[in-house]
Structure 1
Amino acid sequence: MDKILEFEGLDAALYPCVGPLVMDPAVLKQNYNFPFRTTQAYRWFVAVNGEEVVGFIPVERRKSGWIMNNYYIKGRDETVLEALLQRIMAVAAEEKCTLTAISFLEDRDVFCRLGFEEVNVWKRYVKMVKNG
């Protein structure tokens, strides 16, 4: 992974970057067929390797804190997920925001390693929180 890009939720540059992925049936299948959403309240963190997007996490910014729900990591590469989470955590810390994640069950170890605490566990997802 070469770099992590950041886009506001309605930034015109976001769409050519992630558009082909958010409509890709294989990507949607990994996301349990839930569509990806964006509004002006979102900031997208996008991992790029060369010209290829290898992962992204849209973060919804609310008054109560930031929420990560629905994300994509090519090949479920833990190093990409960890790099994205570390960037998000750094930005959230600068802005003094609480982070809430609805992670895939299979990714819970990565979130735990980075200091997220489990709040609730469902069949496919884990709700996790990281303060300050």
Structure 2
Amino acid sequence: MTDYPTAPAPALVLPEGVVLASRGRRIGAYFLAIPLSIVTLGIGYFIWGAIVWGKGTSPALQVLGMRAWKQENNNVAGWGDMAKRNILDYLVVAVTCGIAAIVSFVLFLSDEERRRTLADRLGGTVIVHDPAKRLG
């Protein structure tokens, strides 16, 4: 087997007071999305999501004080980035009958220090915790 050299990932630059979201916080959001979807009958969750995507978050992330951070421009993800991230993820999970959700969770648990899920990879984001609300 041949080992191919890989370029190191660029350093993740975050504003002061903003940190990469912990695995525990991310797992909380992962499982919080389920009851939120049920309580809002799914369509309410999607509408809520479409409203908060412009702030770089989703309903479950918003409840837990997290945002999606775009690595390539060092800024909070915009509405289009979040729509791409979430809609593509939902479609992939639906097409694979949920198998992609399991793969995404395993990727998140085993990923490098950036803790990215399939949705993060699709959207080019990492999830950050903003306890002081410095990101707006």
TM-score for both structures, normalised by structure 2:
0.26
* Highest RCO, 1 vs 2 (Cα 8 Å, sep ≥ 6): 2
TM-score, normalization: structure 1? 0.26
Greater C-alpha Rg: 2
